[in-house]
């Protein structure tokens, strides 16, 4: 510890600084375990003579003189990893290339001399950290104390308290280390919990007490420490803990911490586990000198805020009694949203797909998406003119049943402030809050697929939420959970919470268990930015930051705009009933526009007249558009924006097409999709399955359900149609029948044989089969959104069991069954719902087909006037199709029919379970081709009804052969047919009892059922089903049979249809196997003539 003499001629400045550094490491050794260190790289440099014996103009001579001192330092007890091949993770020495301003490099030493010369001339001309360092040197600080400060900057410690006495120098290391650690904890406390003291509530109703972890006294600091300078630099950190600016006073640190984390923005990001992501945010959040908005930017914000504010007040004045779910209290959403669009365009984004609830929707439509103001005003008056009076020429004039104006969507290509263009699409949605979330995500994923946007940088989803809904609706977490799944991710979603601080009439403490409504988002390591909704510049800042985050890290991000709701849940609701104190404050509240206007005038940015001019320009435009809306006529694109180019509406004829495929094509594709690549080792059972399928193709016989589905997919793929199938366990199939994705038993590699159809000519996932998360609501919504984007695809969702679909009932009820009628949105989405009574109990038997049938919009009392093949528009005119097919070939044709038509309709497939391996549920390959050799063959197209196996004519006219010998005709649907047929064969009653399968339940095959009733005029009609009487299809078919009985050519008693099935029940099925078997035998016997239940 004695001071060594410096070499003759060496620089005194360099020598004392270098000596100070070495003494610092000696002090660490004496500290006795207070800090464990790895041997610094510079000690090796001391021993490397060539490094320090370079020419005099580049090598500090004091380094050579100090080398003997360095060699005397012993680090052995403090370097347990010195002999290891590599240092342990997290404790690796920092390479020289990563260091900044290393004192012991020749270049930096020369730099230091120049820096000291500058300091002597003007102390303010050097960085504050160096000024402090040199100032301490001049004050006579000892080498040990001086090196304490420098090394603290390098190691992340704090500056020691300088006693300037030799007695204190021995304790300085321990004291400095403790203070450094405490200061770092204080900084971290602000980074973690500073948001809890942020000024977020515009109403200032939240009563806050400073958390103990944000009190400097907890860490041993007092007011006397405010002017002391500390080193807070830490390697590989950004922001406050950065090596770029290591020296600050405690007062400066606290001031910046409060400004950054306790201002009008509250940042939550320290829960994120990725260090680089946290550093990226810190670098942008903890900016020492934030860039202020220019006058031009402030004018843009003012104009956008004026449009947002005055649009609402204009509607309020014109339509005082109308519900509009206005944005008052969160008007800053509009300028913030538009800033996000501008930034997104700047970062290469081409489209935004938006989903949002009703609050503020009209404002977003008008000011963000740019829906014509005349159209919005017209909707307040009387809505669009009825069909037939539209100006549409040569196109569909179908207007559907419509929806309220704050549920409607639209799309628009709009220019951005910075010279780009952006396609904005606002997806229509119901009042069910958050239900649209995954619909938007799915639509965005489809955009990315069709536009080859592999990293998701060009197409973004934006979801707006209410505070109560974000914390209360489970679909929010389902959406977040899907965000990083390989076949569902879109590279991040921008979530915007319009935080009214009240959920309808419920206060937050009664509507959630977490401090923030956004806390659910922290479960997936994404940042949350809370912002005061009255500070438009702060709102704009976080929106830009959020978009930058999404584009950089491709994950979700949440912006929580803490605001208020000026009126009640709607404009005619009385909020004082439930929130009297809040609304007394709200009534006194000054709008964000007025606050910002006053601020701009006060700081001299604009004059009062300039502010008035901006507002007057907005008002003049609103008045003009309102006046012109009196004669507004909806343009075709306004109504038909959702119709794809060339696709037809419900009022336009679309001819029925054949769905059969040439035999040579079937053989080629069949061979391809049943071939497992060489070198791939499937499970031995799967190998047998694929070998059996190949034999089916080669022989042309015995094609089962799974192979029929694969052939449908393969032929569609070859024709250039994208196919996507998802759901729980769909890769293998719930019942181990599909095996569309194989796993190598040795390597775990994955193989999808259907992708061999297109090879490298299409994107890898042109055929997608993917197991989903354990979600129905979210995943079905996703697939619906996916299907909305492009009609040239077959998108399917399969429930694990059919009754599990009731977890997604909102999507089914509000979107799939009624979306076209409400919003003119066509979709060809196909639902596969496993169904069938085989003794598995109440939850694994029924897909609740009665619910889907009940939602069918077909009139059971009216027979369509034209049921001819070439002119039939029955399916087009109704909302969806429901089928319960009984042969693999018919399943093949109904899937292909979804794509081979000029319109799109949802398809509900009541799919089988035990028919998947039933020996009689097979089809010959001839039934899949494009030729129909006889009347009993299945080929060419889907069969809505399959006549009895003894029938030989499909004629519907007078040439139909009449069978007078039949005593009973049993109508049924689904797998019960095979049990009926087996029992009939056992009884030998094929001539007396006929069995007719209704394959398409809705729309009802009126013409074909009419034909069968006429074919068997003496036969008693029976409806047989497995389900209880109050379930299944009985209540759907019974009134339709009655309508047919009234027809002159049939003329039967209205009550003639007999019922054979289970009695009415509360539960779908019994849980007792013996009871199930007894019931099944009973209903089959009843149907065939033994004790029919009336």
98-133: pLDDT as tens digits: 444 333 344 455 666 777 788 888 887 877 667 766
CA distances from 898 to 48, 666, 828, 881 (A): 77, 19, 6, 10
Pairing state between β 1058-1062 and 1020-1028: parallel
Distance spanning both ends of the chain, measured CA to CA: 109
What is the structure's pLDDT at 375? Answer: 85
Kindly compute the dihedral angle of the four CA atoms of residues 731, 732, 737, 742, in this order, to the nearest 10 degrees: 90
For the residues 375-383, what does the mean pLDDT come to?
78
Q: Which of 524, 535, 464 is nearest to 494 (CA)?
A: 464
Query: What's the confidence (pLDDT) of residue 62?
Result: 36
- pLDDT of residue 436 exceeding 80, the answer is yes
- Please, which residues bridge with residue 466 across strands? 498
In this structure, what DSSP letter does residue 385 have? P
Identify the weakest region by mean pLDDT among 200-214, 490-504, 932-946: 932-946
Measured CA angle at 400 (ends 395, 404), to 5 deg: 125
At 12 the pLDDT is: 52
Share of the chain above pLDDT 70, in %: 81
Q: Has residue 454 got a pLDDT over 50?
A: yes
136: pLDDT confidence band, cut at 50, 70 and 90?
low
**For residues 1014-1036, average pLDDT:** 96
Q: How confident is the model at residue 634 (pLDDT cuts 50, 70, 90)?
A: low
Mean pLDDT check: name the lowest of 43-57, 691-705, 983-997, 1001-1015: 43-57
Average pLDDT over residues 177-184: 82
> Best-predicted range by mean pLDDT among 49-53, 230-234, 1045-1049?
1045-1049
Confidence of residue 780 (pLDDT cuts 50, 70, 90): very high
Q: What is the pLDDT of residue 393?
A: 40
Residue-level pLDDT at 298 = 95
Greater confidence (745 vs 575) lies with 745
Rounded CA-CA distance 149/177 in Å is 11
Query: Is residue 1004 very low, low, confident or very high in pLDDT (cuts 50, 70, 90)?
Result: very high
pLDDT reported for residue 40 = 37
Read off the DSSP letter of residue 811. Answer: I
Q: Is the pLDDT of residue 72 over 60?
A: no
| The pLDDT value given to residue 132 | 65
Where residue 35 falls among pLDDT bands split at 50, 70, 90? very low
Q: Which of 282-296, 345-359, 566-580, 642-656 has the lowest mean pLDDT?
A: 642-656
Stretch among 46-55, 574-583, 1021-1030 having the lowest mean pLDDT:
46-55
Give the pLDDT confidence score for residue 174 in this predicted structure.
64
| 120-134, 340-354, 697-711, 943-957: segment of lowest average pLDDT | 120-134
Residue 30 in this model has a pLDDT that exceeds 60 = no
Alpha-carbon distance of 413 to 198, in angstroms, equals: 38
pLDDT in the model for residue 86 = 42
Task: Please say whether the beta carbons of 356 and 375 come within 8 A.
Answer: no
pLDDT score at 97: 43
Q: How high is the pLDDT of residue 383?
A: 57
Phi first, then psi, for residue 418 (nearest 5°) are: -100, 25
User: What average pLDDT is seen over the chain?
Assistant: 84
| pLDDT top residue among 149 and 326 | 326
Both tokens of 63, joined, read 């380094």
At residue 66, the pLDDT reads 38
CA distance 399 to 390: 9
Taken in order 484, 488, 489, 493, is the CA torsion positive or negative?
Answer: negative
The pair phi, psi for residue 861, each rounded to 5°, is: -105, 0
Phi, psi of 495 (to 5 degrees): -100, 130
Cis peptide before 762 (omega within 30 of 0): no
- Long-range residue pairs from 948-955, CB within 8 A, at least 24 positions apart, any chain: 948/994, 948/995, 948/996, 949/981, 949/990, 949/995, 950/990, 950/991, 950/994, 951/994, 951/1015, 954/1011, 955/1011
Greater confidence (1016 vs 115) lies with 1016
- pLDDT for 1036: 97
1070 Cβ contact list (under 8 Å, min separation 6) = 841, 842, 1076, 1079
Q: Above 70 in pLDDT, residue 70?
A: no
Cβ count near 219 (within 10 Å): 18
The yes-or-no verdict on residue 58 having pLDDT over 90 is no
* pLDDT mean over 967-982: 97
- The single-letter DSSP state of residue 814 is I
pLDDT at 112: 67
- Cα separation of 948 and 936, whole Å? 10
Question: Nearest Cα to 249, choosing from 158, 378, 322, 325?
Answer: 158
- What was the pLDDT predicted at 83? 36
């Amino acid at each position: 510890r004695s001071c060594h003499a410096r070499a003759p001629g060496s620089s005194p400045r360099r020598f004392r600084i270098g000596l100070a550094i070495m003494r610092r490491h000696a002090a660490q050794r004496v500290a006795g375990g207070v800090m464990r260190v790895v041997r610094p790289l510079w000690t090796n440099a001391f021993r490397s003579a060539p490094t320090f014996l370079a020419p005099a103009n580049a090598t500090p001579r004091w380094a050579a003189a100090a080398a003997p001192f360095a060699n005397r330092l012993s680090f052995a007890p403090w370097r347990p990893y010195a002999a290891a091949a590599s240092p342990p993770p997290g404790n690796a020495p920092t390479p020289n290339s990563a260091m900044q301003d290393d004192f012991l490099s020749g270049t930096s030493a020369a730099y230091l001399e120049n820096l000291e010369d500058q300091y002597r001339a003007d102390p303010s001309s050097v960085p504050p950290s160096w000024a402090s360092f040199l100032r301490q040197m001049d004050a006579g600080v000892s080498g040990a104390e001086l090196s304490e400060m420098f090394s603290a900057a390098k190691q992340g410690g704090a500056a020691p308290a300088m006693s300037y006495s030799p007695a204190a120098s021995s304790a300085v290391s321990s004291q400095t280390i403790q203070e450094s650690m405490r200061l770092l904890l204080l900084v971290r406390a602000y980074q973690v919990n500073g948001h809890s003291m942020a000024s977020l509530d515009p109403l200032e109703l939240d009563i806050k007490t400073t958390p103990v972890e944000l009190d400097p006294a907890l860490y041993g600091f007092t007011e006397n420490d405010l002017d002391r300078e500390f080193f807070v630099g830490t390697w590989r950190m950004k922001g406050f803990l950065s090596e770029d600016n290591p020296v600050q006073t405690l007062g400066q640190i606290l001031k910046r911490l409060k400004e950054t984390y306790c201002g009008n923005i509250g940042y939550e990001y320290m829960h994120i586990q990725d260090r680089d992501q946290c550093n990226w945010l810190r670098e942008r959040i903890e900016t020492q000198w934030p860039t202020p908005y220019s006058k031009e930017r402030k004018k843009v914000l003012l104009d956008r805020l004026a449009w947002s504010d005055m649009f609402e007040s204009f509607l309020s004045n014109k339509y005082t009694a109308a519900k509009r779910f206005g944005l008052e209290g969160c008007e800053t959403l509009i300028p913030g949203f538009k800033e996000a669009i501008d930034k997104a365009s700047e970062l290469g984004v081409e489209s935004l797909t938006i989903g949002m609830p009703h609050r503020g929707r009209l404002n977003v439509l008008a000011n963000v998406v740019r829906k014509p103001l005349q159209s919005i005003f017209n909707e307040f008056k009387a809505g669009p003119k009825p069909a037939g009076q539209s100006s549409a020429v040569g196109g569909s004039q179908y207007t559907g049943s419509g929806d309220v104006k704050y549920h409607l969507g639209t799309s628009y290509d709009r220019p951005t402030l910075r010279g780009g263009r952006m396609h904005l699409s606002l997806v229509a949605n119901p009042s069910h809050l958050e239900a649209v979330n995954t619909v938007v995500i799915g639509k965005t994923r489809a955009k990315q697929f069709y536009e080859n946007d592999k990293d998701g940088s060009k197409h973004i989803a934006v979801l707006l939420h209410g505070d109560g809904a974000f914390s209360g609706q489970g679909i929010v977490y389902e959406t977040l959970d899907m965000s990083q799944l390989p076949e569902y991710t879109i590279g991040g979603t921008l979530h915007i919470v319009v935080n009214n601080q009240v959920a309808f009439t419920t206060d937050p403490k009664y509507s959630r268990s977490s401090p923030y409504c956004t806390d659910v988002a922290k479960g997936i390591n994404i940042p949350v930015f809370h912002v005061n909704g009255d500070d438009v510049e702060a709102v704009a800042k976080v929106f830009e930051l959020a978009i930058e985050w999404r584009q950089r890290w491709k994950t979700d991000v949440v912006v929580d705009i803490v605001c208020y709701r000026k009126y009640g849940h709607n404009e005619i609701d009385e909020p004082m009933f439930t929130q009297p104190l809040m609304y007394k404050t709200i009534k006194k509240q000054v709008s964000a526009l007025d606050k910002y206007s006053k601020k701009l005038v006060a700081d001299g940015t604009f004059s009062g007249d300039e502010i008035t001019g901006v507002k007057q320009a907005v008002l003049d435009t609103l008045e003009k558009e309102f006046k012109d809306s009196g004669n507004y006529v909806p343009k075709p694109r306004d109504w038909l924006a959702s119709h794809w180019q060339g696709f037809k509406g419900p009022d336009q004829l679309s001819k029925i097409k054949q769905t059969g495929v040439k035999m040579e094509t079937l053989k080629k594709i069949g061979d391809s999709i049943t071939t497992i690549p060489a070198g791939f080792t499937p499970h031995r059972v799967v190998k047998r399955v694929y070998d059996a399928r190949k034999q089916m193709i080669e022989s042309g016989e015995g094609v089962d359900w799974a192979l029929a589905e694969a052939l449908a997919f393969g032929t569609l793929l070859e024709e250039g149609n994208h196919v996507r199938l998802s759901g729980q366990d769909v890769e293998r199939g719930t019942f181990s029948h599909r095996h569309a994705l194989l796993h190598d038993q040795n390597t775990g590699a994955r193989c999808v044989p259907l992708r061999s159809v297109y090879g490298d000519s299409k994107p890898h996932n042109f055929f997608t089969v993917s197991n989903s998360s354990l979600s129905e609501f979210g995943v079905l919504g996703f697939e619906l959104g996916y299907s909305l984007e492009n009609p040239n695809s077959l998108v399917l969702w399969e429930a694990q069991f059919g009754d599990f679909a009731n977890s997604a009932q909102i999507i089914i009820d509000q979107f799939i069954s009624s979306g076209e009628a409400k919003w003119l949105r066509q979709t060809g989405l196909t639902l596969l719902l496993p169904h069938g009574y085989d003794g598995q109990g109440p939850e694994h038997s029924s897909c609740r087909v009665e619910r889907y049938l009940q939602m069918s919009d077909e009139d059971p009392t009216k027979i369509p006037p034209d049921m001819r093949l070439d002119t039939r528009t029955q399916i087009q005119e109704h909302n969806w199709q429901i089928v319960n097919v009984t042969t693999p070939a018919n399943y093949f044709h109904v899937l292909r029919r979804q794509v081979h038509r000029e319109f799109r309709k949802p398809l509900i497939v009541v799919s089988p379970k035990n028919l998947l391996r039933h020996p009689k549920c097979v089809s010959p390959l001839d039934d899949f081709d494009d030729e129909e050799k006889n009347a009993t063959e299945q080929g060419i197209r889907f069969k809505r009804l399959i006549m009895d196996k003894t029938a030989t004519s499909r004629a519907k006219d007078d040439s139909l052969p009449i069978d007078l010998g039949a005593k009973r005709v049993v109508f049924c649907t689904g797998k019960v047919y095979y049990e009926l047929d087996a029992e009939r064969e056992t009884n030998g009653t094929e001539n007396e009892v006929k069995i007719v399968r209704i394959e398409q339940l809705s729309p009802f095959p009126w013409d074909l059922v009419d034909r069968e009733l006429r074919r068997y005029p003496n036969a008693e009609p029976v409806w047989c089903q497995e389900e209880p009487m109050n379930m299944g299809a009985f209540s759907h078919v019974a009134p339709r049979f009655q309508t047919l009985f009234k027809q002159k050519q049939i003329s039967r008693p209205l009550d003639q249809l007999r019922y054979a099935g289970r009695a009415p029940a509360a539960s779908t099925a019994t849980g007792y196997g013996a009871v199930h078997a007894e019931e099944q035998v009973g209903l089959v016997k009843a149907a065939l003539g033994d004790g029919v239940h009336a």
